[in-house]
């Protein structure tokens, strides 16, 4: 498990590398309604 400080550091580095838009997008994705279907598609 990582600490909040480590998470914030990773997040800052990802944003500094120009991927802040991906973070913003990922926070808008709705959770899967059917976990089994999601798992089959992910694997």
What is this structure's pTM? 0.64
d(CA 23, CA 31): 15
Quote the pLDDT of residue 43: 86
User: What distance lies between CA 14 and its chain's CA centroid?
Assistant: 11
pLDDT tens by residue, the chain, 43 residues: 999 999 999 999 999 999 999 999 999 988 889 999 989 988 8
d(CA 19, CA 12): 10
d(CA 10, CA 16): 10
Quote the pLDDT of residue 29: 87
Domain ranges of the chain: 4-42
The number of residues making up the chain comes to 43
């Amino acid at each position: 498990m990582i600490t909040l400080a480590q998470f914030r550091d990773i997040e800052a580095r990802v944003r500094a590398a120009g991927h802040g838009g991906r973070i913003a997008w990922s926070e808008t994705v709705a959770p899967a309604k059917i976990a089994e279907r999601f798992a089959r598609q992910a694997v």
